Chain A
Amino acid sequence: MAFWTLYKREFTGYFHSAVAYVVLFGSAVVQGFQFGYILQIVTEDNYKDQSILQIFFVWPLFWLLILVQVPLITMRVFSEEFKLGTIEMLLTAPVREWDVVLSKFFGALTFFLVLWLPVVLDLTALQVFSVPPPPIYWSQIGLTALTITLIGGFYVSLGVFTSVLTKNQIIAAVLSFAFLFAIFGVSLQRWVQHTDATLLEWVSYISAPEHLQNAVLGIFDTRPVVFYVTVTAFILMLTKSILEGRRLKG
């Protein structure tokens, strides 16, 4: 019950801030531009063996967008509470630390998913205005959505974690961008020449682009699911301990 109350406040809170609208607008523009551009290539070069989604989600701009979006969404979740002192008011209400951490995490994750709604609109438009309409593969779309949610969960948890470390939103954003970029950078190994095969195998365990590539093709792999769920849970546990620690320190 406390979780639900806090979650509603977290999620609606995004729509009270200018930053959120800027991110929403920027995301829609970038996604629309990318979608249109890819659509043009696909039609002009008459691609037959790749769907538009397959190209969309390996496009570098897509990943750059995610790496920028997440820190901007999550930077305020705890930092602002520490800065305004509202954390004291929040934690002296009858709520558990878990309620607070989880509501902030799910609130941010929901907003992250809202940021990807324009792609759904783009795809719907494609469906409606194409003659004949392109075929729809629901399992692949569902799998893609699930994988984006899992990756988003992992990245958002990292952002929430950096936000609990400092009362300065800018520091929180820069830190989470650095963490995210370091983790994402590992997956770039795939495109480096002369990389060791065993290393690549390890890389594939944590490489988000590879996971998403498989999902778009309709390949369901449980390893990434387990990976994202455990890592996210671990980071959230860490966040909760640090929240407690900061309070105990006074």
Chain B
Amino acid sequence: MIEVENLSKTYSGFRAVQSISFHVNKGEIVGFLGPNGAGKSTTMKILTGYLPPTDGKIRIAGYDVVTDSLEVRKRIGYMPENVPLYTDMRVNEFLRFRAELKKVARRKIKERVETVKHLCHLKDVENKIIGTLSKGYRQRVGLADAMVHDPDLLILDEPTIGLDPNQIRSVRDLIKDLGKHHTILLSTHILSEVELTCSRVLVIHRGRIEASDTPANLTKLVRGGGSILLEVRAPSVDVISKIEALPNIEDVELILPSDGEWVQAKVFAKPGLDLREEVYGVVRANNWPLRELARVKATLEEAFIELTQD
């Protein structure tokens, strides 16, 4: 659905996006992750044809974004960051206007507007002026606008920013639901959201793609995908030296401060290995009293921080 090759964007000398390439297949929900200023919004604006790329090739649904911009725009539903809307219009009026503008067939306009109002729970504000609506409702009007022409691809820039937890949940469910029939590219800061909704994550940092994988696989990248937490009563020097002597161990870190004679340590194994049994073997061989032995799963947050830290 989206094919991006060597896309670069330079704003008056500043390289916002540096030669990135990625693909999004039909039916995927892809999360675009990255710190502020990483180039997420810029990339999305280029995909929608609003900004021209400085270099590179982008095809959406087989059409070139630069040369076939109109065809591309017909197939995209885009919700910009901060959801700009005509504040003087009523919700119904606005959605009809947008449907007409996006070339929805005249006899289908009414039906489409009703459908998106129902999907985005806008029924009770349909006759209100947009300027008087709360942030949550405006966000949903923006989402309804993006979907009104039933596009193949939805590009959503921070769809849940500024919403309360209940609204976030309802937008998230909506996106998941939409993902059954649409391809979705969304950007966000909220990592739990990505874990819950996205089938794939693109991590972008300083204008480059740092990783592209499923959320589960990304967490595995973090120093072996997790660590083992160990708490025993033993001299700390012994704990470090004896466990490090095991094969396939990358690192042992002490967690300070220690609780009296009890030593807490974090054991990092090589990627993809579970060494709980071996570690327990060492504990038993040395007759250390054991209080805790557990696997700590890495979170997407840790993966994100590791990938985007300088």
Contacts and interface: CB of A to CB of B under 8 A. Distances in A.
B87 A84 contact: yes
Nearest to B88: A16
Interface string B11-50: 1000000000000000000000000000000100100111
Mostly helix, strand, loop or mixed at chain A's interface? helix
Interface string B60-95: 000000000010011010101010111111000000
Contacts of A87: 84
Given A85-B84, A94-B103, A96-B70, 11 more contacts: A9-B97, A13-B88, A16-B89, A84-B87, A85-B80, A85-B82, A86-B86, A88-B45, A92-B50, A250-B11, A250-B51
A89 B74 contact: no
B98 interface: yes
A6 interface: yes
A16 B88 CA distance: 6
Interface string A1-14: 11001100100010
B289 interface: no
Interface of B: 11, 42, 45, 48-52, 70, 73-74, 76, 78, 80, 82, 84-89, 97-98, 100-103, 145
B52 A248 contact: yes
A101 B10 CA distance: 27
A199 interface: no
A91 B50 CA distance: 7
Contact of B103 (A1, A85, A247, A250): A1
Contacts of B74: 94
A93 interface: yes
Contact of A89 (B51, B70, B88, B145): B145
Interface in A202-242: none
A95 B101 contact: yes
Q: Which of B78, B84, B145 has the most CB of A within 10 A?
A: B84
B50 A88 contact: yes
Contact of B84 (A2, A16, A88): A88
A94 B51 contact: no
Given A92-B48, A95-B101, A86 B11 contact: no
A89 B102 contact: no
Q: Which of B74, B85, B86 has the most CB of A within 10 A?
A: B86
Nearest to B157: A88
Determine the interface band of chain A, counting residues with CB < 8 A from chain B.
20 to 34
A86 B85 contact: yes
A16 B93 CA distance: 12
Nearest to B47: A92
A5 B97 contact: yes
6 contacts: A84-B87, A85-B82, A86-B85, A88-B80, A92-B48, A250-B11
Nearest to A87: B84
Q: Which of A1, A13, A88 has the most CB of B within 10 A?
A: A88
Contacts of B50: 88, 91-92, 247
B162 to A, nearest CB: 15
Contacts of A250: 11, 42, 45, 51
Contacts of A13: 86, 88
B220 to A, nearest CB: 37
Contacts of B97: 5, 9
B51 A247 contact: yes
B102 A93 contact: yes
Contacts of A1: 103
Nearest to A83: B84
Given A9-B97, A248-B51, A248-B52, A92 B86 contact: no
A17 interface: yes
B51 A93 contact: no
Contact of B70 (A6, A85, A94, A248): A94
Interface in A76-105: 84-89, 91-96
Nearest to A93: B101
Contacts of B11: 249-250
Contacts of A16: 88-89
A82 to B, nearest CB: 10
B146 to A, nearest CB: 9
Nearest to A9: B97
